[in-house]
Amino acid sequence: LYAYFPGGPTWPPFRRDLKYAITATSATSIDRSTLSDVFARAFSRWAAATNLKFSETSSESDADITIGFYSGAHGDGEPFDGPLGTLAHAFSPTDGRFHLDAAEAWVAGAGDDDVSRSLSSTGEVDLESVAVHEIGHLLGLGHSSVPEAIMYPTIRTGTRKVELEEDDVQGIQSLY
């Protein structure tokens, strides 16, 4: 079953149209337009299940959600740890910070069936899969006990998992 953060924080009813900014990208080699595509696809999966809308803004000061790549310590007391281990983290509503470990071998825009095979042999991490999971946290979901769920707390290295499971949909629909 799905879970919330302690106290069940959510984005309040007058904030259904959320803007995100992709702000810190110098630490990744993935190009900017690919990043825009991957995050737009990840947000659209949650938008399809709720009355939330997401749009990218180029203005960090307008953004509800900020997304960036960082190495090691980056000022929030949760340092990244180099390849594998922690891949990314996101804070609960309405903080909006979503950080990715720049040290990972991120794979972006790999939409085909071959991806899980190629990823598992190289230790690469599918960016869209991690983004869908972290957006669940940004919106207020904790970890699920259902292994198929996006919000389950472990993923095999090299797995691509981007489709919301029934449990994820029920969880987000109970919040929004």
Q: What is the binding site for Ca ion (CB under 5 A)?
A: 81, 85-86, 101
**Is residue 153 within the footprint of ligand TQI (CB under 6 A)?**
yes
C-alpha span between 19 and 24 (Å, rounded): 16
**Is residue 133 within the footprint of ligand TQI (CB under 6 A)?**
yes
Cβ-proximal residue to ligand TQI, closest one: 155
Task: Give residues with Cβ within 8 angstroms of 37, minimum separation 6.
Answer: 109
Binding residues for Zn ion restricted to 57-96, rule: CB under 5 A:
76, 78
Q: How far is the CB of 87 from ligand TQI (least distance, A)?
A: 3
Please tell me whether the peptide bond between 28 and the residue prior to it is cis, using omega within 30 degrees of 0.
Answer: no
C-alpha span between 82 and 65 (Å, rounded): 24
Q: How far is the CB of 90 from Zn ion (least distance, A)?
A: 8
Q: How far is the CB of 169 from ligand TQI (least distance, A)?
A: 17
C-alpha span between 129 and 154 (Å, rounded): 12
SS3 of residue 128 by DSSP: helix
Please identify, using beta-carbon distances, which residue of 17 and 153 lies nearer to ligand TQI: 153
Catalytic positions, written as ranges: 134
